[in-house]
């Protein structure tokens, strides 16, 4: 079948399309239908089926005789170690961990927070939760204690599973003190914490609360898989919203298994037994979908890579991993390639490795700039596929369906909609825009399986944030256009989300932190263009009248404050003190204009500006940071 036929069928007959796709999943009870639209505009998939995520990711492959196949490869240049775990071994490890959790009272529906670096145990913890029907929520290690505390209070976990430490180039990140700090801040307290002691930094265990990962499994019975309803939440993954309160994206079990499994064959063109490598982090959606669940559900080998594209030890690391493990498909963020290209512009290190196994490179998480795509195509000699998606959708909205029919690559476009995504470009009033014209990107409801049905215990916020602006549609928060061939182009966010090294951050959340500084009367944070990370946050601070603090002092405090409250991942290092912020006559801060000035781009003076002279003051301040014209 051609892409057009596949896509048309998914839109014309969603139930038929997705029931057929569901046949690739092992159900304990087959669902009676795919789409449950009784509560539109809230939709669910496979709601009356019974299924287990861990069974599908692990046990069924062992049962089918593939127990000796490698499930997980841990490749860790930061610890100079590599090891492999077969499906049979994974089954034993996960059943044992799940058994120990069960013995301590974790059951279906309980929440479990996972705060771990890139070690296989992070996947094992996720799968152990799935085995029991417990709902995991993985928190990225680069977040500060405060962010962890916010998530603890929102999803009220019965248990937290953490590692003693993570390893960043040049430093050991002590996770345990961050966890202890978060628990001191949080109102909700888990019943217990499971700590994986790593040899690089053994943590103190709090008697009565903390248990050792290995010791607590001793003598417990391995757990069986607990079937859950198709609409039972597999996990909650928090992502940046417009305030300091992150949004808890919920993922239902049935749809997530079906859609991810479909994508492995038809989007990424994989076969069971082949090696898939998503160079991301388990704390992000890419890690959930394509380090953990999709490759395992589909029966591939997945790589847990604990390192960076450069500096661990050099810009040839990615090529070494591809060669050593015969990677067929690599998925990463464009920023990783920009980092490699910066260190090795000629791609000389590529020559040192055998990359014959590699068939495609997929990029996502941020805009893929044409230079980077071209460089990657030239150096690797494989198709470089940009694809576009979000934490909310869990898998690609647009991409090039390499396993159906590879479509011509148009550099700058993440290609065409995946099955079930009826992508439309709308004007402010919600009318479809002609081809080639920029508008808000919205998806006609229902979204396909695997996408978010709601936000964790925040249905009203879900409706307000995604469904209300364009009734009958899901609002993506991205703006862009479609060309005459139906290819999509993603141009900008329509909200305050910025993308720093493929990490999604909210400038609003950073403004909340800065406003908490006692000397800051008013502030604004914008995302400025950065050659390596895509965007970087930059803060503008207005001090209280009569403040006797120096500007340098306040800037240094603010940089520290954001690192302490949000975390190093925010990469907030640029800030400047100004007298006033440019605003409209109704008092709205003109952030978009400030971005244009910082990027040295041409801009039109906003008609509603209150005092144009402030823009000159902003330009002067920006020059002190080396930005603007």
Q: Which residues bind ligand AMP (CB under 6 A)?
A: 239, 285, 364-368, 386-391, 414, 477-478, 490, 493, 499, 504
Q: Which helix (H) or strand (E) holds 447?
A: none
Q: How many CB atoms sit inside 10 A of residue 462's CB?
A: 22
Q: Where are the alpha helices (DSSP H) in 349-434?
A: 370-380
Q: Does 286 bind ligand COA (CB under 6 A)?
A: yes
Do 306 and 321 contact (CB within 8 A), yes or no? Answer: no
Do 282 and 72 contact (CB within 8 A), yes or no? Answer: no
Interface region with ligand COA, contact rule CB under 6 A, candidates 165-173, 245-253, 352-360, 611-619:
165-173
Residue 493 binds which of ligand COA, ligand AMP, none (CB < 5-8 A, kind-dependent): ligand AMP
**Measured distance CA(252)–CA(56) in Å, rounded:** 15
**Least separation, in Å, of the C-beta of 235 and ligand AMP?**
14
Q: Which helix (H) or strand (E) holds 150?
A: helix 145-155
**Measured distance CA(542)–CA(426) in Å, rounded:** 37
DSSP character string of 249-305: EEEEHHHHHHHHHHHHHHTS---TTSEEEE-S-TTSHHIIIIIIIHHHHHT-EEEEE
CB-closest chain residue to ligand COA:
502
**Least separation, in Å, of the C-beta of 350 and ligand AMP?**
23
What is the x/- site pattern for ligand COA, positions 352-371, by CB under 6 A? Answer: -------------x------
Interface region with ligand COA, contact rule CB under 6 A, candidates 257-265, 316-324, 367-375, 568-576:
568-576
**Measured distance CA(24)–CA(258) in Å, rounded:** 7
Whole-number Cα distances in Å, 489 to 295, 413, 424, 527: 28, 5, 12, 20
Residue 142 or 233 with smaller CB distance to ligand COA? 142
**Least separation, in Å, of the C-beta of 204 and ligand AMP?**
34
Using CB under 6 A as the binding rule, the residues of this chain from 240 to 279 that contact ligand COA are none
Q: Which helix (H) or strand (E) holds 398?
A: strand 398-399
Q: What values do phi and psi take at 205, rounded to 5?
A: -100, 135
**Measured distance CA(419)–CA(262) in Å, rounded:** 10
What is the x/- site pattern for ligand COA, positions 294-313, by CB under 6 A? Answer: --------------xxx---
Residue 49 or 334 with smaller CB distance to ligand AMP? 334
As a 3-state breakdown, the chain gives helix, strand, coil percent values, each rounded to 5, of: 35, 25, 40
Do 154 and 105 contact (CB within 8 A), yes or no? Answer: no
Residue 74 or 288 with smaller CB distance to ligand AMP? 288
Computed over its alpha carbons, how large is the radius of gyration of the chain?
24
Using CB under 6 A as the binding rule, the residues of this chain from 325 to 344 that contact ligand COA are 333, 335-336, 339
By rule CB under 6 A, what count of residues binds ligand COA? Answer: 24
**Least separation, in Å, of the C-beta of 595 and ligand COA?**
20
Q: Does 501 bind ligand COA (CB under 6 A)?
A: yes
Among 92, 172, 173, 377, binds ligand COA (CB under 6 A): 173
**Least separation, in Å, of the C-beta of 503 and ligand AMP?**
7
Whole-number Cα distances in Å, 622 to 331, 522, 549, 573, 574: 36, 17, 21, 14, 10
**Least separation, in Å, of the C-beta of 620 and ligand AMP?**
31
**Measured distance CA(411)–CA(22) in Å, rounded:** 33
Among 571, 590, 598, 615, binds ligand COA (CB under 6 A): 571
Nearest to 446 by CA among 34, 8, 50: 34
The most distant pair of C-alpha atoms in the chain lies apart, rounded to whole Å, by 75
Residue 530 binds which of ligand AMP, ligand COA, none (CB < 5-8 A, kind-dependent): none
Q: Does 168 bind ligand COA (CB under 6 A)?
A: yes
Nearest to 281 by CA among 432, 132, 166: 166
**Least separation, in Å, of the C-beta of 532 and ligand COA?**
6
Dihedral (CA of 83, 87, 88, 93) sign:
positive
Residue 247 binds which of ligand AMP, ligand COA, none (CB < 5-8 A, kind-dependent): none
**Measured distance CA(238)–CA(135) in Å, rounded:** 13
Residue 40 or 531 with smaller CB distance to ligand COA? 531
Interface region with ligand COA, contact rule CB under 6 A, candidates 259-267, 313-321, 465-473, 566-574:
566-574
**Least separation, in Å, of the C-beta of 142 and ligand COA?**
3
Q: Which of the 8 DSSP states describes residue 58?
A: I
Residue 388 binds which of ligand COA, ligand AMP, none (CB < 5-8 A, kind-dependent): ligand AMP
Residue carrying structure tokens 């860790």? 76
Residue 501 binds which of ligand COA, ligand AMP, none (CB < 5-8 A, kind-dependent): ligand COA
Mention every residue, 6+ apart, whose C-beta is less than 8 A from residue 355: 319, 322, 323, 380
Residue 157 or 365 with smaller CB distance to ligand AMP? 365
DSSP character string of 555-586: HHHHHHHHHHHT-GGG---EEEE-S---BBTT
**Least separation, in Å, of the C-beta of 399 and ligand AMP?**
9
What is the x/- site pattern for ligand COA, positions 125-154, by CB under 6 A? Answer: ----------------xx------------
Among 45, 284, 298, 572, binds ligand COA (CB under 6 A): 284
Residue 117 or 365 with smaller CB distance to ligand AMP? 365
Using CB under 6 A as the binding rule, the residues of this chain from 502 to 531 that contact ligand COA are 502-503
**Least separation, in Å, of the C-beta of 333 and ligand COA?**
4
**Least separation, in Å, of the C-beta of 47 and ligand COA?**
30
Residue 141 binds which of ligand COA, ligand AMP, none (CB < 5-8 A, kind-dependent): ligand COA
**Least separation, in Å, of the C-beta of 215 and ligand AMP?**
36
**Measured distance CA(65)–CA(91) in Å, rounded:** 13
Q: Retrieve residue 560's tokens.
A: 């520290």
**Least separation, in Å, of the C-beta of 597 and ligand AMP?**
22
Q: Retrieve residue 81's tokens.
A: 């170690």
Residues that bind ligand COA in the complex, under the rule CB under 6 A: 117, 141-142, 166, 168, 173, 280-281, 284, 286, 308-310, 333, 335-336, 339, 365, 501-503, 568-569, 571
């Amino acid at each position: 079948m051609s892409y057009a036929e596949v896509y048309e069928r998914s839109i014309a007959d969603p139930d038929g399309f997705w029931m057929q796709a569901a046949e690739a999943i092992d159900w304990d009870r087959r669902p009676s239908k795919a789409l449950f639209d009784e509560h539109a505009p809230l939709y669910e998939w496979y709601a009356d089926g019974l299924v287990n995520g861990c069974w599908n990711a692990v046990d069924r492959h062992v049962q089918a005789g593939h127990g000796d196949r490698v499930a997980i490869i841990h490749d860790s240049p930061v610890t100079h170690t590599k090891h492999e775990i077969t499906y049979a071994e994974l089954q034993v490890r996960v059943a044992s961990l799940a058994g120990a959790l069960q013995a301590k009272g974790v059951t279906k529906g309980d929440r479990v927070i996972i705060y771990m670096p890139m070690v296989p145990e992070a996947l094992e913890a996720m799968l152990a939760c799935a085995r029991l029907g417990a709902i995991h929520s993985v928190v990225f290690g680069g977040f500060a204690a405060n962010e962890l505390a916010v998530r603890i209070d929102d999803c009220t976990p019965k248990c937290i599973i953490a590692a003693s430490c993570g390893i960043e180039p040049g430093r050991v990140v002590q996770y345990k003190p961050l966890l202890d700090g978060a628990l001191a801040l949080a109102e909700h307290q888990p019943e217990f914490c499971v700590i994986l002691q790593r040899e690089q930094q053994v943590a103190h265990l709090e008697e009565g609360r903390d248990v050792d990962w290995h010791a607590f499994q001793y003598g417990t019975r391995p757990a069986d898989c607990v079937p859950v309803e198709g609409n039972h939440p597999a996990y909650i993954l928090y992502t940046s919203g417009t305030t300091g309160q992150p949004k808890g994206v919920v993922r239902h079990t049935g749809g997530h298994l079906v859609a991810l499994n479909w994508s492995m064959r038809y989007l990424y063109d994989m076969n069971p037994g082949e090696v898939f490598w998503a160079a991301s982090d388990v704390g992000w959606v890419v890690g959930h979908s394509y380090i953990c669940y999709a490759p395992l559900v589909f029966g591939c080998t997945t790589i847990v890579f604990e390192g960076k594209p450069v500096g661990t030890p050099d810009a040839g690391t990615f090529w070494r991993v591809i060669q050593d493990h015969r990677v067929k498909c690599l998925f990463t963020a464009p920023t990783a390639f920009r980092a490699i290209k910066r260190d090795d512009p000629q791609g000389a290190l590529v020559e040192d490795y055998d990359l014959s196994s590699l068939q495609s490179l997929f990029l996502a998480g941020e805009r893929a700039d044409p230079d980077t795509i071209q460089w990657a195509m030239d150096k690797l000699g494989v198709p470089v596929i940009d694809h576009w998606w979000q934490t909310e959708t869990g898998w690609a909205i647009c991409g090039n369906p390499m396993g159906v029919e590879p479509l011509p690559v148009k550099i700058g476009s993440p290609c065409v909609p995946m099955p079930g995504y009826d992508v439309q470009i709308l004007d402010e009033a919600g009318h479809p825009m002609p081809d080639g014209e920029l508008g808000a990107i919205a998806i006609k409801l229902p979204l396909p399986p695997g996408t978010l049905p709601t936000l964790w215990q925040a249905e009203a916020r879900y409706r307000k944030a995604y469904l209300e602006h364009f009734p009958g549609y899901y609002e993506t928060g991205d703006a862009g256009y479609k060309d005459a061939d139906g290819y999509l182009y993603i141009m900008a966010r329509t909200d305050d989300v910025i993308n720093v090294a493929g990490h999604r951050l909210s400038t609003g959340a950073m403004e909340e932190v800065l406003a908490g500084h006692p000397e800051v009367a008013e502030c604004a944070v914008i995302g400025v263009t950065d050659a390596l990370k895509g965007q970087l946050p930059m803060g503008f601070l207005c001090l209280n009248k009569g403040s006797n603090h120096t500007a340098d002092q306040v800037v240094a405090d603010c940089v520290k404050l954001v690192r302490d409250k949000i975390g190093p991942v925010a990469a907030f290092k640029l800030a400047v003190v100004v007298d006033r912020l440019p605003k409209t006559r109704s008092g709205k801060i003109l952030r978009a204009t400030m971005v244009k000035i910082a990027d040295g781009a041409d801009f039109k003076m906003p008609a509603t500006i209150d005092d144009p002279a402030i823009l000159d003051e902003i330009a002067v301040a920006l020059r002190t940071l080396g930005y603007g014209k």
